[in-house]
Amino acid sequence: MKLSKEIYRDKQGNLIRKFNHNGLITSEEYHDPSFIRSKKVLYKEEKQITSILETRQNNEGTSSEEDGILSLYQYSGESYQVFKYRIGTGTYKDFVNLKYLSYGKDDWHNVDEASSVYKFKLENGLPVTEVYQDLSDGTKSTVNYSYSNGLKVSETRTAEDGTVVKSDFAYENGKLKSKLTSVNSEFSDMLLYVYQNDLLSEEQKICRYKGIQYPAFQKKIFYNSKNEIEKTEYYGRYDERMLLYKKEEVIRKGNLVTKKHFETPNLEMMTGQYDLAALHAKLREDQMDWAIPLFDKKYAETAKPELGNWSIEAHDEKGNLTEIKMMHPDIAKKEVLAHLVYRNEYNEESLLEFVISYRINEEDKQEEMDIKKFYYYN
């Protein structure tokens, strides 16, 4: 059974989404005390988008020029263009009034009224060129892609001012091994990826300083026997060495999942520079001279990740959340800072029918927060 509609409601407002038989969204409408926001998507044979109408109105029902935009899709084989029209244009009015249906053609709209156009060229189902043009001021940017054996090997972005940012991708056994980025043909940075047992185990970012390439950041990922992530460590270069500045742990036991987040305060934003001289120069550039005495050689000796707020989650047999407790950083206190519970109800097909969220208040009573309802095609 495929989802046909979902409804979300809380104290602020409610949201309704509808889907077609292919699982694609056809409409979205959000109401709150201040305004109504809607989005309607039309398809050709329920697969290919032909138009998207987005509107925003206040509760008096009035609209301003910024409160409506129409996107019209025009196809040529695999490739297509998207024209954007603002509220108040003749094309927008003809669409809203359904007058366009009498024109009997796809290119009925007035291109001269469009505010912008996106052009997408595809070959064998893969995008090879994207062009964005703002028709109001004439600015233009492009993105070009190239492939080898179906894998993207390069991406070149050209901005309005002529800046060219190119990324080259390398693979090994079908897995991404590196991403090299240059700006106007000058090295910018490189990302390296390491795998173990076909799982990503390490990411490393290489930067450059005065012609010297150096490791700036590193992420290590650890898995359990079920190939589930149980720990992620984040390192950043500080004073010419890599320091652990953040760590995330996930402990699974039965239907309980404990998530712990450790972080060294303020350290992440101070890492990644080649050495202390480069860091201090960056701080002066950012008008943060006050921080220079704090982040010296001694700082690396004492900087260690501290446990922040951590959580305990409970899940049902379907894997959906039934309870979450946000705990105080001091584990010995066993203090619950926030406590939420979820009521999950399923239909005869074991699909979610609705979820009600409750907050446990200071009197240990449930207060309803929101509700989600799901409807399916027969």
| H/E run at residue 70 | strand 68-76
CA-closest candidate to residue 25, choices 58, 2, 57, 55: 2
pLDDT at 153: 99
**Mean pLDDT for the stretch of residues 317-331:** 95
Structure tokens at 179: 């991403």
Inform me whether the pLDDT recorded for 23 exceeds 90: yes
pLDDT digits (tens, 9 = 90+) for 140-185: 999 999 999 999 999 999 999 999 999 999 999 999 999 999 999 9
- Residues 201 and 213: their CA atoms lie apart, in Å, by 22
Inform me whether the pLDDT recorded for 101 exceeds 80: no
pLDDT at 62: 62
Q: Which of 64-73, 320-329, 334-343 has the lowest mean pLDDT?
A: 64-73
The pTM for the full model equals 0.88
Inform me whether the pLDDT recorded for 364 exceeds 80: yes
Contacts of 62 (CB under 8 A, 6+ apart): none
CA-closest candidate to residue 119, choices 109, 129, 110: 129
The DSSP code sequence of 105-150 is STT-S-GGG-SEEEEEEEETTEEEEEEEEETTT--EEEEEEEEETT
pLDDT at 64: 55
Inform me whether the pLDDT recorded for 115 exceeds 80: yes
| pLDDT band, very low/low/confident/very high, at 298 (cuts 50, 70, 90) | very high
- Residues 333 and 10: their CA atoms lie apart, in Å, by 32
pLDDT digits (tens, 9 = 90+) for 27-64: 999 999 888 999 999 999 888 999 999 999 887 666 55
pLDDT at 334: 86
pLDDT at 118: 98
Q: What structural domains and CATH numbers belong to the chain?
A: 1-114 (2.40.128)
CA-closest candidate to residue 325, choices 249, 258, 250: 258
**Mean pLDDT for the stretch of residues 251-265:** 95
| H/E run at residue 94 | helix 90-96
Phi, psi of 300 (to 5 degrees): -65, -25
Inform me whether the pLDDT recorded for 370 exceeds 80: yes
Inform me whether the pLDDT recorded for 65 exceeds 60: no
